[in-house]
Amino acid sequence: MRKLFKLLLITIVFFNQIALVTAGTTNATYCIKALELSPAPKIDGKLDDAFWNSAVVLDSFTQYQPKEGAEPSEKTVAYVGYDSKNLYIGVRCFDSSPNAIRASLTKRDSVYGDDEITIYLDTFNDKKRAFAFQVNPYGVQTDGIYNETRRRHRGGGFNRIDKNWDTFFLTDANIDNKGYSVELAIPFKSLRFPNADSQVWGLQIKRDIPRKNEEIYWHPRSRDVNGFLAQIGELHIEGSLDKGNNLEVMPVLTGMQEEGEKFSPEPSLNLKYGITSNLTADLTFNPDFSQIEADMPKIDVNQRYALYFAEKRPFFLEGKDFFDTPIELVYTRTIDNPMWGGKVTGKIGKTTIGYLSAYDKAPGDINIPLAPDTPEQANERGLVNIFRLKQDIFQESYIGFIFSDKETGGSWNSINQNYTRVAGIDGHFKFKKYYRFAFQVVGSSSKVEDQKTDIVPAMNFSLSHASRHWNISAEYNHMPEDFEASIGYIRRKDIRQIRTRLGYNILPQNDLIVSIQPSIEYRRAYDFNNILTDDEIRIGGIITGWRGSFFWGGYTTELERYEGIDFTRQGIRLSINSQPLAWLSGNISYSAGDSIYYSDDPYLGFKSSIGVRTTLKPFSNLRIYYSLNNDTFSKSKGGERVYRINIFSQRISYQLTRTISLRLITDYNDYYKDLYNSLLLSCEYRPGTVFYLGMDDSREQDDAGIFARTGRYYFIKFSYWWRI
């Protein structure tokens, strides 16, 4: 282990020196100095205030897609200014066909497929993380966090924006015969930035024109640069900014009534305190973690590994990316029913800090080999503590440390009866323009009653090359069976795995086809008894083009070992996605091939899966979403059917105003014969100031085809957000 850490130290120093040599600089053309102006503009989307006449003008936009470096098909002009309280950005989006502009009146953070303006603010100018603010032609807001080093897995999205982060800012927009215009006022109190007298922030402005499959940027973006935030401009702000130690208070009242029972209200309180402009503390007491937005149903039959569901609870979403590491050691949905929680997140100089603590009334089991079965753990209590530290090493590189501790016991006095503790280091380094190297080495130590493990190491290493035409990567994962991270999500243990990928990017860059990306992947894995468990080759490719369409296809041949038996199987997967019209978008996927029936007596059968998803927008304020997922498993191709599962989902959203909406959810699973309906009235004035009134109804279909009610619940939630 000591030799390994010495090797890592040498590697870090080496990449550190390379990063110093290859660190890029920003083109002076795209370095602007914002002007402090007054009086403040009225945010109505019309750009007719005198403020904008004196603001800095940005009009040198270029295409990234479909044709990189080309002149945009439509002109765009942006304006930037500020006063002591807010940063103001206005954008005029000229359009030769104003009637073709795509715009929806929908809930906040729910804009998909519209014309849109996105503002990226890298307030620490470290090329790693940026606040993202979006607004569509109806002034509907979306905000989130863009993370350069975030891995593209489970919820990360292709654009790496985590839209679960919410803050307060003002927007409005206006459509006219020239196109549309938008205005934003972003309070400095809504941001985190260095505690200094003058500021240098990264700035990028993006415009999407989906009907033309066009993306344009103020600072030019190139496929020949590995990284997005390395290709943004600079915004210089000199003057006094409103960055006081603001206090935010949000009381919450929730209540639920089961049919036939009494209404049970439940108060809670959330506090946020800005220690400085770059360090924030969050506290929550008796938190409301009700699922206003239900999880999309997933097929859970004949699955080898546990299903993954994204976090949706506000307290855990704030600063969530601070705790991300290559191995997912922090999966906060394992903190099931907390009584209280506290968190400190921020950045001081080049050091990022994160600390989270929660007391859980349903902590879940700690699983280690030979541990006794303890059904009474359902009555235990749990204390979770997570500490995260990251140190910047020049631009786009860092080295980090993480420690997590989960203690469980029958009461607070015996809270350390059982535990699992994990500690380790990780890093991410960019070098030689196209290359990135990431690693993580951690160790866990666990105890359940009288059973205890020594320190068990786990590790992950990856090296990648991304340039205009080539995408090459290699990854090694080392995960022993007795490694335990009960706060995290570890999909599979007892595995030593290497995965490689080689992809090439062909760029026609025309209106019909933007890119063609064939690829080949190879994966090989052994268990810790040195037995080959997986050997897989996948050949595939993706074609992107007309109106956001893409077609993906792949063929896989693999060996998979399960319950001591080697199974050899082959299969294909196909998927097509498109948004051809303003009111229509959809996706169709299909897969078929050999598949294992996972049981104590496994065998090789044949499985086919079909997925159909479509979104209809018959009116600008009405969205109808349908999905159908089908799995059919047979003992052989064309043979006796073992099971068939159909899951039908419907989401209907009707937006009365920008703040008031109605939503109906319907889910039906014909395997379990379950029918679920949810009706919700929402009033979302701004983040934290909301009112919800809803009803959930669950039914089960009997042999006669009649749906008998198994439960009905009425619920209410009200919260109000003060910034003091």
Query: Using H for helix, E for strand and C for coil, what is the string for 491-519?
Result: CCCCEEEEEEEEEECECCCCCCEEEEEEE
The span from the CA of 412 to the CA of 382, in Å, is 8
pLDDT score for 13: 45
The span from the CA of 627 to the CA of 695, in Å, is 22
Give the confidence band of 18 by pLDDT, cuts at 50, 70, 90.
Answer: very low
Asked if 186 contacts 193 with a C-beta cutoff of 8 angstroms, the reply is no
Whether the upstream peptide bond of residue 39 has omega within 30° of 0, thus cis, is yes
Q: Is residue 534, in this structure, part of any structural domain at all?
A: no
Under DSSP, is residue 99 helix (H, G, I), strand (E, B) or coil?
A: helix
Give the mean model confidence (pLDDT) for residues 295-321. 73
Q: Is residue 106, in this structure, part of any structural domain at all?
A: yes
Q: Is residue 95, in this structure, part of any structural domain at all?
A: yes
Whose CA is closest to 515, among 554, 469, 555, 473? 469
Whether the upstream peptide bond of residue 41 has omega within 30° of 0, thus cis, is no
Angle CA 355–324–223, to nearest 5: 140
Q: Is residue 277, in this structure, part of any structural domain at all?
A: no
- What number of other Cβ atoms are within 10 A of residue 242's Cβ? 13
Asked if 652 contacts 624 with a C-beta cutoff of 8 angstroms, the reply is yes
CATH number of the domain to which 50 belongs? 2.60.40.1190
When the pLDDT of each residue in the chain is averaged and rounded to a whole number, the result is: 89
- Which of 142-156, 546-560, 585-599 is predicted with the least confidence, judged by mean pLDDT? 142-156
The span from the CA of 178 to the CA of 645, in Å, is 51
pLDDT score for 373: 55
- Could you identify the residue written with the tokens 């631009």? 395
The pLDDT tens digits of the residues spanning 515-538 come to 999 999 999 999 999 999 999 999
pLDDT score for 372: 56
Q: Say yes or no to pLDDT of 156 above 50.
A: no
Structural domain containing residue 100: 34-238
Tally of domains in the chain = 1
Return the bridge partners of 542, or none: 517, 552
pTM for the complete prediction?
Answer: 0.89
pLDDT score for 308: 76
Q: Is residue 312, in this structure, part of any structural domain at all?
A: no
Give the mean model confidence (pLDDT) for residues 441-470. 93
The tokens describing 357, both together, are 């603590």
Give the confidence band of 299 by pLDDT, cuts at 50, 70, 90.
Answer: low
Q: Is residue 639, in this structure, part of any structural domain at all?
A: no
Q: Is residue 504, in this structure, part of any structural domain at all?
A: no
Q: Say yes or no to pLDDT of 15 above 50.
A: no
Under DSSP, is residue 653 helix (H, G, I), strand (E, B) or coil?
A: strand
Give the mean model confidence (pLDDT) for residues 31-58. 95
pLDDT score for 150: 67
Q: Is residue 535, in this structure, part of any structural domain at all?
A: no
